[in-house]
Amino acid sequence: MLFNSYAFLLGFLPAALLVFHALRRLGLERVALAALVLVSLAFYAWWNPVYLLLLVPLTLATFVVARAIAHCRVARPRIARALMIAGVVGNLLVLGWFKYANFLVDNAAALVGAEWTLAKIVLPLGISFFVFQKIAFLVDAERGKVDRFDLLEFALFVSFFPQLIAGPIVHHGEVLPQLRAPRRDGEPLAALGLTIFAIGLAKKVLLADSAAAVATPAFDAAAAGAPLDAVGAWLGALAYTAQLYFDFSGYSDMAIGAALLFGIRLPVNFASPYRAKDIAEFWHRWHITLSRFLRDYLYIPLGGNRHGAARRTVNLLVTMLLGGLWHGAAWTFVAWGALHGAYLVVHRGWQRVRARVSATPAGPVEVFAGAALTLVAVVVGWVLFRAADLPTAWAILRAMAGAGTAVLASDGVASPTHDAWAVAIVAALLAIALLAPNTQQITGYRGPSEAPVHAGPPSAATAAATAWRWRPTPGWAGASAVVAAIAMTNLSRVSEFLYFQF
């Protein structure tokens, strides 16, 4: 079930809220949590009930192993470490089987020229997210950072439906304390949640889907081997840049909004990433909870920046390469991860060179140039991320570099990517992504810690956002509801079919 579906908006969510809050009003806190677990499992089962046979046992097994780790952590640390490694490997094996088995077998077969085939394995929804949460829990149990083991709380932490399918990748330290001590300011959180959910829904339905209408034909045409010129290629790539941001950040907003309706604060996942002045800042603003996980549970355990420049470079590349592969089992994602690893290495090198040359802070021109270069680099990366395969990505990148094929109108059929309307849509969407206040700036939401997400000098957009700051007034309620209504009326299209002149 998707957040942007009538079944969720008109049926599932209201029913879940009704049950949960009714139980809490009766003072049945534990029963309310148990009900929320069941509701979350039902949410997951809506897609395919069979995969509950994966989610539930994996949750139970992780909990048992984590408790065993905590039990022997002090007295028998080696056993605790072995258990932790076994638990992490077990989770990774599950992820590897469902997500990478086909990829590995296909590539191994191609490499040795064999005809090995493996039946298509369907990827369970959200597996990449909940496996990471469990790994973090196991590692922290071994580090002594988990102070209480409660199966009900853990089950809800893993299965809580707002974050189950597509994150944010929630850390147990953020959510479990909230489950133990439910907030007493439920109504203000719910008001905030409605607004953030409406913003997310509008981002997804109105903005991301508009961008997709431009991006998808361009990438599909390239995949089909159709000619593509520089304008068409750039338009497609920029449209996808907007689509991915509004789609993913919109979905994260909906997750945060839905969680707030249950009185739970989820971490912020996006903070206007395309405004980043350099690639390192981009990763502090894009999919923040993934960056945080990769840093804490991969980059730092690998050695981080503690063992010299060469080791740091290797650690960065490995982290980004695996981060790329986490997004999907395809060489395009590996290439995308490697590219961003290279970006970060170059950025670190530039920082060192610049520090030697000048001690003065960057001026406006340098800042602007850095931001523009970062955006272009990110757009280039998104081509790899979105393309059907590496040859398609290469064809689009060549076209972006001016080495494509001119698209000629034939028989009055214009290329969809050369439509002036498409240019206007993409320009408007990028302007919103770059200049408009983001969800946190509008609503003041800061996540579980309630601390600012990305520190930095106030921008023009921030100042504007202060004037536009959300307040729980009837005017804001009406405006948010109208935004939600417009998005809901656009949830599905009543498609036309035009068959040449018919």
Contact assessment for residue 471 and residue 304, using Cβ atoms and an 8 Å cutoff: no
Q: Which is nearer to another protein, 303 or 478 (CB)?
A: 478
Name the nearest CA neighbour of 187 among 27, 14, 21.
21
Q: Which is nearer to another protein, 57 or 225 (CB)?
A: 225
Q: Which is nearer to another protein, 339 or 407 (CB)?
A: 407
Look up residue 206 and give its DSSP letter.
Answer: I
Task: Classify 57 in phi/psi space as left (phi over 0), alpha (psi -120 to 50) or beta.
Answer: alpha
Residue type at 142 in one-letter notation = E
Residue 119 as a binder of another protein (CB under 8 A): the answer is no
Taking the complex as a whole, how short is the minimal distance between the CB of residue 263 and another protein, in angstroms? 12
Instruction: Select from 83, 194, 254, 429 the one that contacts another protein (CB under 8 A).
Output: 194
Name the nearest CA neighbour of 6 among 205, 168, 244, 263.
205
* Distances from the Cα of 232 to the Cα of 215, 228, 373, angstroms: 10, 6, 20
Give the per-residue contact string, 2-41, with another protein (x = CB under 8 A; - = no). Answer: ----xx--x-------------------------------
Q: Which is nearer to another protein, 169 or 484 (CB)?
A: 484
Instruction: Select from 185, 310, 450, 460 the one that contacts another protein (CB under 8 A).
Output: 185
Name the nearest CA neighbour of 2 among 171, 125, 122, 123.
125
Contact assessment for residue 400 and residue 233, using Cβ atoms and an 8 Å cutoff: yes
Q: 410 has which bridge partners?
A: 413
| Cα 442 from Cα 431, distance rounded (Å) | 17
| Cα 19 from Cα 90, distance rounded (Å) | 35
Contact assessment for residue 348 and residue 312, using Cβ atoms and an 8 Å cutoff: yes
Tell me the backbone φ, ψ of residue 413, rounded to 5 degrees.
-95, 110
Binding piece for another protein, criterion CB under 8 A, among 160-168, 243-251, 294-302, 470-478: 470-478
Residue 111 as a binder of another protein (CB under 8 A): the answer is no
Q: Which is nearer to another protein, 94 or 189 (CB)?
A: 189
Give the number of residues written for the chain: 502
* CA dihedral sign, ordered 479, 485, 488, 494: negative
Q: Which is nearer to another protein, 317 or 486 (CB)?
A: 486
Binding piece for another protein, criterion CB under 8 A, among 140-148, 343-351, 461-469, 492-500: 492-500
Q: Which residues are catalytic?
A: 327
| Cα 239 from Cα 266, distance rounded (Å) | 29
45 contact partners, CB below 8 Å, separation of at least 6? 51, 52
Q: Which is nearer to another protein, 198 or 321 (CB)?
A: 198
Contact assessment for residue 138 and residue 88, using Cβ atoms and an 8 Å cutoff: yes
Look up residue 96 and give its DSSP letter.
Answer: I
Q: List binders of another protein among 396-455 (CB under 8 A).
A: 407-408, 410-411, 413
Q: Which is nearer to another protein, 78 or 493 (CB)?
A: 493
- Both tokens of 362, joined, read 């960057």
Residue 45 as a binder of another protein (CB under 8 A): the answer is no
126 contact partners, CB below 8 Å, separation of at least 6? 44, 164, 165, 166
Taking the complex as a whole, how short is the minimal distance between the CB of residue 331 and another protein, in angstroms? 14
Taking the complex as a whole, how short is the minimal distance between the CB of residue 428 and another protein, in angstroms? 18
Taking the complex as a whole, how short is the minimal distance between the CB of residue 474 and another protein, in angstroms? 5
Instruction: Select from 102, 216, 305, 490 the one that contacts another protein (CB under 8 A).
Output: 490
Give the per-residue contact string, 198-217, with another protein (x = CB under 8 A; - = no). Answer: x-------------------
Taking the complex as a whole, how short is the minimal distance between the CB of residue 221 and another protein, in angstroms? 9
Q: Which is nearer to another protein, 7 or 118 (CB)?
A: 7
Q: 413 has which bridge partners?
A: 410
Indicate the angle between helix axes 127-142 and 151-159, nearest 10 degrees.
Answer: 140
Give the per-residue contact string, 216-255, with another protein (x = CB under 8 A; - = no). Answer: -------xxxxx----------------------------
Residues binding another protein: number (CB under 8 A): 52
Instruction: Select from 351, 358, 466, 492 the one that contacts another protein (CB under 8 A).
Output: 492
Residue 107 as a binder of another protein (CB under 8 A): the answer is no
Residue 110 as a binder of another protein (CB under 8 A): the answer is no
413 three-state secondary structure: strand
Binding piece for another protein, criterion CB under 8 A, among 21-29, 121-129, 373-381, 477-485: 477-485
Contact assessment for residue 236 and residue 279, using Cβ atoms and an 8 Å cutoff: no
Give the per-residue contact string, 330-369, with another protein (x = CB under 8 A; - = no). Answer: ----------------------------------------
Residue 188 as a binder of another protein (CB under 8 A): the answer is yes
| Cα 161 from Cα 434, distance rounded (Å) | 31
- Both tokens of 282, joined, read 């981009």
Q: Which is nearer to another protein, 388 or 432 (CB)?
A: 388
Taking the complex as a whole, how short is the minimal distance between the CB of residue 367 and another protein, in angstroms? 39
Taking the complex as a whole, how short is the minimal distance between the CB of residue 498 and another protein, in angstroms? 6
437 contact partners, CB below 8 Å, separation of at least 6? 461, 462, 464, 465, 468
Binding piece for another protein, criterion CB under 8 A, among 121-129, 181-189, 236-244, 278-286: 181-189
Interacting residues with another protein (CB under 8 A): 6-7, 10, 185-191, 194-195, 198, 223-227, 388-389, 407-408, 410-411, 413, 472-474, 476-478, 480-482, 484-486, 488-502
